[in-house]
Amino acid sequence: MTSQPVLASAVKPRLQVAAIDFGTTYSGYAYSFYADFKQNPLNIHTNKWGSAARPTGLMSLKAPSCALFTPEGVFDSFGYDAEERYADLANDGQHKDWYYFSRFKMLLYENKVS
């Protein structure tokens, strides 16, 4: 199957279009502005995920689908930052009261849709 390019004239005028890929293992997002699309339909913006602890290290268009919350239940970090922070806490033996969630997407499918 060959994909056909989308013509700018066929797209309803929206200021911005965004897409979120919430995956079991990795997640990411992309967006495009209407003015950019009219000039070049392939001008799509994405985030480059990495680690705040190691800004010169691994960069990816997707981040691990994991989240870390403090012992009080306050969001702390997501993706690579959550992995590294939790690993650091575990290495120091301080992780026991923290909440680390990974690969949790499938839990969203408990209810059947008819």
Output the pLDDT for position 88: 95
Name the token pair of 85: 């922070």
* Per-residue buried b or exposed e for 83-100, using 16+ beta carbons within 10 Å of the residue's own CB: bbbbeebeeeeebeebbb
pLDDT (mean) for 15-30: 85
Token pair 């004239």: residue: 9
**For residue 95, pLDDT beyond 90:** yes
Domain extents for the chain?
13-109
Output the pLDDT for position 1: 47
pLDDT digits (tens, 9 = 90+) for 10-19: 656 667 888 8
pTM over 0.75: no
